[in-house]
Chains A and B, each alone.
Chain A
């Protein structure tokens, strides 16, 4: 019976660690350790059937899906609506906008992805495409507009980075406005 009490204490410790930790990957790994220990406890309390299901689902499938979603979250998706080479990357001379955005992504450890147009239909689980930034050119004042979500904390850093450039303006939109085609 001593092993059971030890394992239960370990479960409580790991649960506290999961709640207090800030690193995503550490949380996922300790979550799978948590379900492994839970499976051991199920087995010791004579429920091997539940233990098998817990091992397969709790310590393999759920952490895999979580790790995948974390790796997808590391992308910064930009929609390019310009005609000129403001956002184009090349070996000799890349555009000013591209330099700003790549510096911004380097600061946060994100992966920059620039797309020319939206796909026709989205057939994933989520139909709404999550676009972080739209780059446009204003007709009258000939300034470049960076449109992002107001709720995103990252926008403040982008605003600060773009402040020295005269012809760039950062606009923060309400939630849902960025989805218009």
Chain B
């Protein structure tokens, strides 16, 4: 991967991590975490580890749903 795409997808990862750290509502945190996961995937594809990519792409929403199970419906701030 040349430098331009490394900067673009790396910027996506750093942006997602900073947004996850800054936001206070748990739903906004989970959405920003999805942004971080989206930035990780092109680096996995660049190394050629496509089986790891498929496994990771199926495990990441599972982990989000586990957190949503604890969140419930009354955790939302209006």
A joins B in a complex: no
Binding site for A on B (CB under 8 A): none
